[in-house]
Homo-oligomer: A and B are copies of this chain.
Amino acid sequence: MLATSLSRRNFLAGIGASALTLPMLTDVFGNPIQSDPSQQGRKLGIALVGLGYYSKNLLAPALQETQNCRLAGIVTGTPSKVDEWKQKYNIPQANVYDYKTFDRIADNKDIDVVYVVLPNSMHEEFVIRAAQAGKHVICEKPMAITPKACQNMIDACNKANKQLAIGYRLHYEPFTKEVMRLGQEKVFGPIKFVESSDGFRIGDPTQWRMKKSMAGGGPLMDVGIYAVQGSRYVTGEEPISVTAQFSPKTEPDKFKDVEETMFWQFQFPSGAVSNSTTSYTAGIERLRASCEKGWFELSPAFGYGPLKGMTSKGPIEQPVVNHQAAHMDGVCKDLLDNKKLPDHVTGAEGLRDVRLLQAIYQAAETGRKINLKA
Q: Which positions 276-334 of chain A face chain B at CB distance < 8 Å?
A: 277, 279, 281-284, 288, 290, 292, 295
B248 touches A193 (CB 8 A): no
Each complex incorporates copies of this chain amounting to: 2
Residues A277 and B245 in contact in the complex (CB < 8 Å), given A290-B282, A292-B201, A295-B283: no
> Is the pair A279, B368 in contact by a Cβ cutoff of 8 Å?
no
Picked from B248, B284, B288, the residue with its CB within 8 Å of the CB of A284 is B288
Report A242-255 CB contacts with B as 1/0, cut-off 8 Å.
01010110100000
Known contacts A273-B247, A290-B199: does B192 contact A279 (CB below 8 Å)?
Answer: yes
Contact residue among B250, B275, B283, B288 (Cβ-Cβ distance under 8 Å from A275): B275
What's the nearest-Cβ distance from chain B to residue A267, in Å?
Answer: 6
Interface size class of A (residues with CB under 8 A): 20 to 34
A369 at the interface (CB under 8 A from B): yes
Q: B247 contacts A282, CB within 8 Å?
A: no
Cβ-defined contact, B245 with A265, below 8 A: yes
Bound CA span A247–B193, Å: 10
Chain A 190-210 per-residue mask, 1 if CB under 8 angstroms from chain B, else 0: 001101010101000000000
Residues of B within 8 A of A295 (CB): 283-284
What B residues does A273 contact at CB under 8 A?
247-248, 261
A-B contact pairs, 9 of them (CB 8 A): A192-B250, A192-B282, A193-B261, A193-B279, A199-B290, A248-B271, A263-B265, A284-B295, A367-B368
CA distance A274 to B193 in the complex (A): 18
A247:B261 contact, CB within 8 angstroms:
no
- What are the 10 closest A-B residue pairs judged by CB atoms, nearest first? A250-B271, A193-B282, A282-B290, A247-B273, A192-B282, A192-B281, A263-B275, A283-B290, A275-B277, A243-B245
Contact (Cβ within 8 A) A197 B195: yes
Specify which of A243, A265, A267, A282 lies most central, judged by the most chain B CB atoms within 10 Å of its CB.
A282
Contacts of A261 in B (CB 8 A): 192-193, 273
Q: What is the bound-complex CA distance between A243 and B369, given in angstroms?
A: 13
CB distance from A154 to the nearest CB of B (A): 33
Cα distance A243–B267 when bound, in Å?
17
* A248-B267, A290-B199 given; A193·B277 CB < 8 A: yes
| B193-A284 in contact (CB<8A) | yes
Check B369 against A277 for contact (C-beta < 8 Å): no
* Interface 1/0 per residue, A21-47 and B, CB below 8 Å: 000000000000000000000000000
Instruction: Give the distance in Å from the alpha carbon of A284 to the alpha carbon of B292 in the complex.
Output: 12
